[in-house]
Amino acid sequence: MTVTDNCDAPSTCDVLVVGAGLAGLMCARTLQRAGLHVQVWEAADHVGGRIRTDEVDGFLMDRGFQVLNPAYPAVQQHVDVGALGLQTFGSGAGVRRDDRFAVLADPRREPGHLADVLRSGYLDPAQLAALARWAGPALGPPGRLKHGPDTSWGAGLDAAGLSGPLRAVVESFVAGVVLEDEGSTSQDFVRLQLRMFALGAPGLPREGMQALPEQLAAGLVHPVRTRVRVHAIEQGRSGATVRADGLTGTARLVVVATGARVAQDLVGVPAPAMKGVVTDWFTMPVAPDAPPMLVVEGRGATSGPVKNAAVVTAAAPSYAPPGRHLVQASALIRDGAGGIPSVEQVRRHTGELYGVDTGDWELVHRHEVPEALPAQAPPLRTRRPMQAGDSVVVCGDHMDTASIQGALVSGHRAAAGHLHRTC
Ligand SMILES: Cc1cc2nc3c(=O)[nH]c(=O)nc-3n(C[C@H](O)[C@H](O)[C@H](O)COP(=O)(O)OP(=O)(O)OC[C@H]3O[C@@H](n4cnc5c(N)ncnc54)[C@H](O)[C@@H]3O)c2cc1C
């Protein structure tokens, strides 16, 4: 590759990766390990893309609440989870019912909550059987989920006969994971996510979620060039030319790891719709008395905008100064006017979920993320074709699954494909 700009002498390398999110970093690392000279150009002032942590008054807040699941196969393979100091949430969920706060937990991993589960009011045998019919395949071979017949998760719940209070809980929980509550996402994608929740205990790195991409970036010989926004990619006979403001580079291979919408603008791959989320971060003198788990609505979606809340500091004390508490509450961003719930709506509903007065809660920060996750409609297609010309490939979560796992896998797949073609 040749790079020219006002400050650098022209340099040469093999691959130029555009975008330093998880996919771009994973791709760069894999190619570098194979001995290639790789450079990464990133538009933002920092690596990580959609995984970014803000520090405000000593509180750590990720740009939209998200968790790292150490059960993701790509995380196990490529990430030093031990070095991240993962602070895990409990394996279960708190549920707001009309008359009480219930806890549903995996009794094998949370034996201390067995009595809570027994008195939760959710142990109706017919409904548990319906839940097992629907969720059971999540624990079977993952290959069947990726290649079998698929439908939407809403249709899947109907087909399994899940109804009543247990369905309301499942709907709340899943909506917070896939960022839609119409039931339109691929059922098999939802099952893959449930499989990960069953196998792993998600958590937050000691230094915030941003520590994950930073760990990947730290392994790169050539540091990521930040504040370089690419605006054009032109393919030639034996490579491609990349143009950014004041900077031009040519490389044998250009990897577009920018996220779906920019990839569509740059090289024309069709982008899926994006799902949005708003996360409010509150601090308060006394934390709600709840286990370190996600809390969801059990009374139906019309009860309020919040899809999940959590006393973050109950699981991850490093997210606040000593002795302080931090609660996150996340709601969907919908299209059109009024599509983003107000802080007051979120605060009121979060108070209801925990059964506490939020009068003395203070908003530390609000993150609005309109483009958080690519839609994952059925049938699930985990390996979209990446080649966008002889010398350009596209990777990112939109090419695999809408997740940390999907972003890492797609970055690795883009690199492996190039190595396969050229070696
Ligand atoms: C709020 C939220 C919650 C989430 N929760 C979870 C969760 O709990 N579990 C889970 O598994 N996943 C979750 N995800 C999804 C996960 O974070 C993403 O799937 C993953 O980070 C996507 O990585 P990526 O590399 O594909 O894309 P991105 O992170 O979007 O990276 C693209 C990069 O390209 C850069 N770029 C864009 N345009 C240009 C340009 N023109 N020139 C140069 N650079 C450019 C961007 O700045 C960015 O750094 C969540 C995401 C969000 C936002």
CB 132 within 8 A of CB 118: no
SS (H, E, C) 211-245: HHHHHHHHCCCCCCECCCCEEEEEECCCCEEEEEC
Residues 6+ apart with CB under 8 A from 300: 168
Residues 6+ apart with CB under 8 A from 13: 1, 3, 36, 37, 38, 39, 222, 251
User: What mean pLDDT do residues 142-165 have?
Assistant: 89
The conformational region for residue 130 under phi > 0 = left, psi -120 to 50 = alpha, else beta, is: alpha
Instruction: Give backbone dihedrals phi and psi of 212, rounded to 5 degrees, phi first.
Output: -65, -60
Domains of the chain: 2-52+210-272+381-422 (3.50.50.60), 54-205+274-374 (3.90.660.50)
User: What mean pLDDT do residues 320-345 have?
Assistant: 95
Structure tokens at 5: 């700009």
d(C-alpha 6, C-alpha 236), whole Å:
24
| pLDDT value, residue 12 | 52
364: CA distance to ligand 1 center in Å? 23
Nearest alpha carbon, ligand 1 atom 38: 258
CB 154 within 8 A of CB 183: yes
| pLDDT value, residue 147 | 73
Ligand 1 in contact with 27 (CB < 6 A)?
no
Structure tokens at 161: 């006969």
Ligand 1 in contact with 154 (CB < 6 A)?
no
Ligand 1 in contact with 36 (CB < 6 A)?
no
| pLDDT value, residue 337 | 77
The conformational region for residue 268 under phi > 0 = left, psi -120 to 50 = alpha, else beta, is: left
Global pTM reads 0.95
User: What mean pLDDT do residues 172-196 have?
Assistant: 96
User: What mean pLDDT do residues 181-210 have?
Assistant: 96
What are the Cα distances from residue 322, in Å, to 91, 125, 282, 316, 319? 25, 45, 16, 11, 9
| pLDDT band per the 50, 70, 90 thresholds, residue 339 | very high
